[in-house]
Amino acid sequence: MKSLIISAISSLALLTTSCEQNKSENNKTELNAIFPKGEKGPAENFTGNAWAAPLVDDDSTYNTVIGNVYFEPGARSNWHRHPSGQILIITDGVGYHQLKGQPKQTIKKGDVVKCPPNVEHWHGASPDTGMQQLYILPKTENGIVTWLQKVTDEEYNNR
């Protein structure tokens, strides 16, 4: 009887541990960061919490800016455009991207997104999972970014 009780308690402990691991894997709010979190993005350009870390500063040799952005769940950029376009490489999580006039797209780890020059767009995390991305801004001699209006909740939630 004593060994039966010990066996039952051990099984319950293993089951509880397994459920907790699955719960944390299915609800990824913290991502596996490969770059520094950086500084919190300004509220006038982001809804929710977004953190940016520059990785390659602009210079006259490369004329390219590269950085890392981590969007907490539900966070997103404002609508914006880049004179020479933007490339996003999603390094973890799940989020959204939308070009003006086109349907919102779901993006996830491993996706590469090209935002054409001077096309209004936004990007950010899904409601329940954060997203981490690298951004690449080429030909910075043409300019960096023009920030526009906030993405409304209706736009963000639109399927």
CATH of residue 107's domain is 2.60.120.10
Residues 82 and 13 in one domain: no
- What tokens appear for 42 in the block? 């300004």
pLDDT at 40: 97
Mean pLDDT of 10-19: 38
Residues 8 and 43 in one domain: no
pLDDT at 17: 36
Residues 49 and 117 in one domain: yes
Task: Report pTM.
Answer: 0.80
Residues 119 and 45 in one domain: yes
Q: Say if 34 falls within a structural domain.
A: no
Q: Is 77 exposed, middle or buried (0-12, 13-18, 19+ CB in 10 A)?
A: buried
13: containing domain: 1-28
Mean pLDDT of 109-138: 98
pLDDT at 29: 53
Residues 54 and 113 in one domain: yes
19-44: per-residue pLDDT in tens? 444 434 444 456 788 888 899 999 99
Calpha distance 71→60 (Å, rounded): 30
